[in-house]
């Protein structure tokens, strides 16, 4: 009898108590972000994930603007979305590295409800052989570009008349949750976005602005095709641990994550494990996810160590073959 009581206590009562406790303390509070009839600005919206996201948001009734550098690619994207959905998106040409250009682009776009900072560049190479120019290129476009966008858009988002929930979504990568061979600069730029996002969420919560960080695995896009031409073999092997997705699958996960106000948005099963394993002190709105994190983190540390064991094995093998 005592055994049974103990059993019931540990298996039912304790988890329920933990759930109840977590449901009281998780912050920020859960939120839903509508996108219908709202203005969604997507950078890097002329290609790959950004283009898929623009098309999806448009088909769900959002007013969409896409921003990128190349005007021809922007026009092509606009036509492709028009053809697929019958909806016209606005296009804006600007380089996110140029703060003045970003400020006038944001002005031209008009008040933004959902800002998706998705532009990104990735040139994989071992740091020792990578030119500093390329390191700086990735930091400038991926990290500084996102600072420019948010700095430019925030005043208007903050002063909006209609006080409904709005969103700032930032495209990171699974390489922004774990360092990957060949990605010293790229991973640094994407890890940087996480620090920024965690701090920013605290600063903008009072204005009903909600931050989402999206973590895709390898995704079939024109950018990845380009990357593959010069990807170190080890980068492909290690990144392969998480498989590959199609751009429209990532776009769907991303948009659902944004609409549900999730801070961390994983895109596949490995990504879900990775987000639980690297939850750290990130905000969590869902008490169910918080529960999974609390229960899962120990065992996932073991899984993470197994991945590292496997990756370091590949690295050793690769060096042995080279000799
Ligand atoms: N594909 C993948 O495997 C993964 C991608 N990601 C991330 O997802 C995002 C999108 O990737 P993906 O769709 O593959 O990229 P693509 O290379 O297919 O597209 C990149 C987009 O960003 C724009 N862009 C690039 N540089 C600038 C700039 N300086 N100013 C303004 N716009 C710019 C491009 O247009 P233009 O060149 O005309 O400016 C283009 O629209 C990136 O942040 C990437 O890091 C994350 C994980 C995996
Ligand atoms: C604890 C459990 C762990 C679960 C599995 C971990 C697997 C990690 C794989 C990381 C892959 C990184 C791909 C980056 C893609 C990218 O950003 C480039 N294509 C550039 O765009």
Measure the CA–CA gap between 108 and 160, rounded to whole angstroms.
Answer: 16
Hey, which residues does 167 pair with through a beta bridge?
Answer: 114, 210
Three-state SS string across 35-59, please?
CCCCEEEEECCCCHHHHHHHHHHHH
| Average model confidence (pLDDT) across the chain | 97
Indicate whether residue 195 lines ligand 1 (CB < 6 A).
no
CA of 174, closest atom in ligand 1: 47
Please provide the CATH number assigned to the domain covering 30-281. 3.40.50.720
Give pLDDT, residue 4.
81
The torsion angle over the Cα atoms of residues 116, 121, 127 and 128, rounded to 10 degrees, is: -160
Which ligand minimizes its atom distance to the CA of 54? Answer: 1
Question: Look-up: residue for tokens 């919560």?
Answer: 205
pLDDT digits (tens, 9 = 90+) for 29-65: 999 999 999 999 999 999 999 999 999 999 999 999 9
Active site positions, annotated: 172, 186, 190
User: What is the rounded end-to-end Cα distance, in angstroms, of the chain?
Assistant: 66
Q: CB of 63 within 8 A of CB of 81?
A: no
- Give residue 323's pLDDT: 78
Q: State the number of CA atoms in the 13 A half-sphere of 106 facing the CB.
A: 25
pLDDT at 1 over 80: no
Question: What CA–CA distance (Å, rounded) separates 260 from 278?
Answer: 20
DSSP 240: G
Residues with CB under 6 A from ligand 2: 122, 173-175, 178, 180, 217-218, 224, 227, 239, 241-242, 270, 273-274, 277, 300, 303-304, 307
pTM summary value? 0.97
176 lines ligand 1 (CB under 6 A): no
Quote the ipTM score: 0.99
């Amino acid at each position: 009898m005592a055994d049974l009581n103990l059993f019931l206590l540990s298996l039912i009562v304790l988890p329920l108590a933990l759930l109840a406790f977590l449901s009281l303390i998780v912050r920020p509070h859960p939120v839903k972000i509508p996108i219908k009839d709202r203005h969604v600005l997507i950078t890097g919206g002329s290609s790959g994930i950004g283009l898929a996201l623009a098309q999806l948001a448009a088909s769900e009734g959002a007013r969409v603007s896409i921003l990128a550098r190349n005007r021809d690619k922007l026009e092509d994207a606009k036509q492709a979305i028009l053809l697929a959905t019958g909806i016209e998106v606005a296009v804006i040409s600007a380089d996110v590295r140029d703060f003045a250009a970003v400020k006038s682009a944001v002005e031209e776009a008009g008040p933004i409800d959902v800002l998706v900072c998705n532009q990104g560049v990735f040139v994989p190479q071992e740091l020792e052989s990578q030119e500093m120019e390329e390191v700086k290129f990735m930091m400038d476009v991926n990290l500084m570009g996102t600072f420019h966008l948010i700095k430019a858009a925030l005043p208007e988002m903050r002063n909006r008349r209609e006080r409904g929930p709005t969103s700032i979504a930032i495209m990171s990568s699974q390489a922004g949750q774990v360092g990957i061979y060949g990605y010293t600069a790229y991973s640094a730029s994407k890890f940087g976005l996480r620090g920024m996002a965690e701090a920013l969420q605290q600063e903008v919560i009072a204005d009903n602005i909600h931050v989402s960080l999206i973590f895709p695995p390898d995704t079939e896009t024109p950018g990845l095709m380009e990357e593959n031409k010069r990807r170190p073999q080890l980068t492909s092997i290690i990144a392969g641990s998480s498989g590959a997705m199609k751009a429209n699958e990532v776009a769907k996960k991303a948009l659902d994550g944004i609409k549900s106000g999730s801070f961390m948005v994983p895109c596949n099963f490995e990504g879900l494990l990775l987000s639980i394993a690297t939850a750290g002190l990130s905000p969590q709105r869902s008490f169910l996810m918080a529960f999974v994190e609390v229960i899962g983190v120990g065992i996932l540390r073991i899984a993470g160590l197994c991945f590292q064991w496997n990756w370091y094995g590949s690295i050793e093998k690769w060096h042995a073959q080279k000799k």
